[in-house]
Amino acid sequence: MFRRKSFWGGAHPSEEKSWTEHKSIEDLPLPEKVIIPLQQHIGAAAEPIVQKGDEVKTGQPLGKTDKFVSVPCHASISGTVASIETRPHPLGIDLLSIVIENDEKETWIDNVTPSPNFMDLSVNEMKKRIQEAGIAGMGGAAFPTHVKLSPPPEKPIEIVFLNGVECEPFLTADHRLMLEKPSEILNGLRIIMKILNVHRAIIAIEKNKPDAIQRMKIETASEKGVSVLPLAVKYPQGAEKQLIKAATGREVPSGGLPMDVGCLVHNVGTALAIFEAVSSRKPLIERVVTVTGPGIRDPKNLRVRIGTPFRNLIDFCGGYTESAAKLVNGGPIMGISQVTDEVPVIKGTSGVLILDEETANLEAEHACISCARCVDVCPMKLIPNRMANLVEVQRVEEAYEIGLLDCIECGTCSYICPAKRNLAQYIKLGKALWDEKQREAG
């Protein structure tokens, strides 16, 4: 039996799931254009393999690379390549993107066809299909899935986790997927287990989703080696290291990865994409996005083509309310504020959140009062205020010495800070500065 312990620290923000948790997934109408960034994942960017003026089909590769830690990107609609240019990206930068104008024909590539005996495919063929489909982790980190499914031989995986925790406030996309696509998710898990030669899997779900827990228990009732684990409602319960600690008592070492303790974690949405890629060669060209918050008139869960501008989702949900004040890619704690609603949905876009003035936390930062609340809640047992202070005055080496790179950027410190300091952003900046120093040092 696993010890159902919690993890150090954490917080209990208002869940705000009621906006959309009982709303079924709807299909967003196809947009007039899509904007496909060539980098939607951790690792090397894809290189364009189409040109302006080319006619493309739905599912057709648009960008590829020979780098292992990378994934291709695909056309999410059929139409004409209108331009290849830098465009605003949800991560807050401008990146090279391919703009496609819809021809309204929805013509798919020919090789997206069902393979009834997909579980008989070899492990290498399964991984090849996953890589060709361009799948990257859909819980937000966007790490290339085929890489994650290729641990070194000296680090065998004992337990696979499917992460259905979805601890970020407001977001309900994973919740709805577990209710509406449980058999497809389970098939994705079966594929993962075959690839890794693993015989034990846990589907982890926070207790605030009792219907999803029950649905997945029914789905897995006769599945040998697969169990559903209800977890306490605490943020960031869905972070890999905290999930593993809570479920097994195993602690991922500093600088380590889940594979170092025999575990691997995949999001439930990723499992669905894996099933579609292996069973029918369907590339990752759509995902479920929660459009929610007090700044939107009719919050919904939407199935959306990758590259669709945020504005299309917002209009479909009735538009902004008069009190709308802040647009966020993702949730309120780990999400990134946007300066325009013309940014596209990417593979890691789990939510489009619109906050009003009351919930947007627009209050200016104040000086640190040394209350240590950020230290109390840090799930990695770090000293966030000290690290942020060091980064602010460019003493990055000292921040590194006290655990800068161990920060998982969950944002719990920023959430809890009474001085409204954006500690997580300072730490993220510190990581970027550290990386720059390492490159300069050769």
At residue 46, does pLDDT exceed 70? yes
The answer to whether residue 363 is domain-embedded is no
Question: pLDDT at position 6, please?
Answer: 78
Residue 122 lies in a domain: no
pLDDT at 3: 46
Same domain flag for 155 and 274: yes
pLDDT of residue 2 exceeding 50, the answer is no
Q: Which residue among 245, 280, 315 closes a domain?
A: 280
Q: What does the alpha-carbon distance between residue 332 and residue 353 come to, in Å, rounded to a whole number?
A: 7
Report pLDDT for 439: 83
Is residue 292 domain-shared with residue 267, that is, in the same domain?
no
Task: Look at residue 40 in the predicted model and tell me its pLDDT.
Answer: 93
**Distance (Å) of CA 185 to CA 133, 161, 191, 276:** 17, 12, 10, 10
**Residue 1 clears pLDDT 50, i.e. is over it:** no
Evaluate whether residue 365 is within a structural domain. Answer: no
pLDDT at 42 over 80: yes
48: in domain: yes
285-315 confidence digits (pLDDT tens):
999 999 999 999 999 999 999 999 999 999 9
Mean pLDDT of the region 310-338: 96
Q: Is 18 a member of any domain? A: no
Residue 440's pLDDT is: 86
User: Stretch 85-107: mean pLDDT, rounded?
Assistant: 95
Same-domain check for residues 106 and 230: no
Pairing state between β 159-163 and 263-267: parallel
> Do residues 288 and 268 both lie within one domain?
no
Backbone angles phi, psi at 307, to 5 degrees: 95, -5
**Cα–Cα separations (whole angstroms), residue 12 to 140, 180, 236, 348, 407:** 20, 27, 9, 24, 19
Question: Domain with 318 in it: what CATH number?
Answer: 3.10.20.600
* pLDDT category of residue 388 using cuts at 50, 70 and 90: very high
Domain assignment of residue 143, yes or no:
yes
Given 226, 254, 280, the domain boundary residue is 280
* Residues 149 and 42 reside in one and the same domain: no
Answer with the one of 235, 259, 280 that is the final residue of a domain: 280
Q: Which domain holds residue 403?
A: 373-440
Please state, in angstroms and rounded to a whole number, the distance separating the CA atoms of residues 343 and 325.
Answer: 17
% of the chain at pLDDT higher than 70: 99
Do residue 259 and residue 324 come from a single domain?
Answer: no
Question: Is 237 in the same domain as 316?
Answer: no
Lowest-confidence pick of 2-6, 139-143, 415-419: 2-6
Mean pLDDT of all residues in 17-34:
98
Share of the chain above pLDDT 90, in %: 90
Looking at the structure, tell me whether residues 183 and 309 fall in a common domain: no
Is residue 342 located within the same domain as residue 380? no
Residues 259, 153 share a domain: yes
218: CATH: 3.40.50.11540
Same domain, residue pair 293 and 393: no
382 and 267 co-located in one domain: no
Residue 124 within any structural domain of the chain = no
What domain count does the chain have?
3
Q: Which of these ranges, 74-78, 171-175, 286-290, 437-441, has the smallest mean pLDDT? A: 437-441
Q: Is 43 left (phi over 0), alpha (psi -120 to 50) or beta?
A: left
Amino acid 5: pLDDT: 62
Average pLDDT, the chain: 95
Q: What is the pLDDT of residues 184-236, one digit of tens each?
A: 999 999 999 999 999 999 999 999 999 999 999 999 999 999 999 999 999 99
Q: Are strands 351-356 and 159-163 parallel, antiparallel or unpaired?
A: unpaired
In a domain, 95, yes or no: yes
> Which tokens is 47 given?
């290189």
